[in-house]
Amino acid sequence: MADTKDREKIIVRTSFIGIAANIMLAGFKAAVGIASNSIAVVLDAVNNLSDAFSSIITIIGTKLAGKKPDKKHPFGYGRLEYMSQLIVAAIVLYAGATALVESIKKIIKPEVPDYKPVSLVIIASAVVVKLLLGVYVKKKGQEVNSGSLIASGSDALSDAILSISVLVSAIVFLIFRISLEPYVGVVISLIIVKSGIELIKEAVDEILGQRADRELTIKIKKLIKSTESEVHGVYDLFMNNYGPDRYIASFHVEVRDDMTASEFDSLTRSISETVYKETGVIVSAVGLYSENADGTPGGKHRAKVRDMVVAHDGVMQMHGFYIDEEKKTMSFDVVIDFAVPDRNALYKSICTEVEEAYPDYSIRVNTDIDVSD
């Protein structure tokens, strides 16, 4: 993964290439559309123009997102990239809605197009340019994990398909004298609208905070358990996103109950360094779950209680189990599925069942959220 400065340069350079290509295509298509009286070609040109404007927004958003953290925004400005993506999506949606209205007008009051061979050559050339541009921009977006670039690349590939449909409708008209122009315009408009809605959804999901990437969370958990033999389990992995590739994490680790404070301090520092080095994720906090040894009374009860708890439909996991024989307390956490209609009722049922099985203990059950894989 490129560092922050290189990433910004790649996004800006790729966006400028996209701007230049889209403006050129928009100019050629607009000229062809007006000359041939083709609403589909004109709308295709408008779509290219909106793509160019979207790239400008991407550049502005990337520049602002690259500002250094300060007292007011200690986690930086990375989330501004999601805001810029939201603006781009709104532009795409508006362009699609406007194109749809114009296409419907042409269906109501049709106009006969007048294609010339040079028009078909220009449209065919535009298809090739859009295919190359889409592959290039999407590849660069994946390299630097830029949602805006990936969206632009995918949009360019979709545009190529739309341009092919315009080209086909022109050929159909020249051969059969059947005008499909306004209907192709409607199809183009609906696809643009759909793309805008999907972009808005993606941006809103990022702003609201969505479930962390499964591959990344699994990698972090495996990394901790494989490099730190003292860790017997990793749970409650929270991943906060402050922009593309800007993650801050916290989690609990399960360790033996005789570990000293200095040993745990050394362990958490080692974990933080390892996770950051291997994944780029900053560890903000490491919580502790104390584990009863297998040979102790607490260790003997762990399996029995786990079987009892996970037997309930909707319970995804039990962890953090610990018994204090001196104080006669039993503690553990349960992860309940979001699909459970009444989570509170399930929680009470678990508590009641365990309390009845262990009347001599004070039972402390905490419900955890299913936040990561």
Structural domains in the chain plus CATH codes: 4-208 (1.20.1510.10), 211-290 (3.30.70.1350), 292-373 (3.30.70.1350)
Tokens of 15: 């966006």
The pLDDT assigned to 1 comes to 41
Q: What is the pLDDT of residue 361?
A: 94
Give the pairing of strands 282-291 and 315-324.
unpaired
Q: Chunked in runs of 10, what are the mean pLDDT values of the chain (373 residues)? A: 71 90 87 77 77 84 85 87 82 78 81 72 83 89 80 76 76 81 79 82 85 91 89 92 86 92 94 93 93 78 91 94 92 94 93 94 92 86
**DSSP-assigned beta bridge partners for residue 332:** 365
pLDDT score of 40 = 66
pLDDT at 192: 77
- pLDDT at residue number 271: 95
Burial of 253 (0-12, 13-18, 19+ CB in 10 A): buried
Is 22:159 a contact under the CB 8 Å cutoff?
Answer: no
pLDDT on residue 350: 95
Mean pLDDT of the chain: 85
**Sheet architecture: strand order including 315-324:** 315-324, 329-336, 362-368
Asked if 267 contacts 228 with a C-beta cutoff of 8 angstroms, the reply is yes
Q: For residues 29 and 129, give the distance between their C-alpha atoms in angstroms, rounded to a whole number.
A: 13
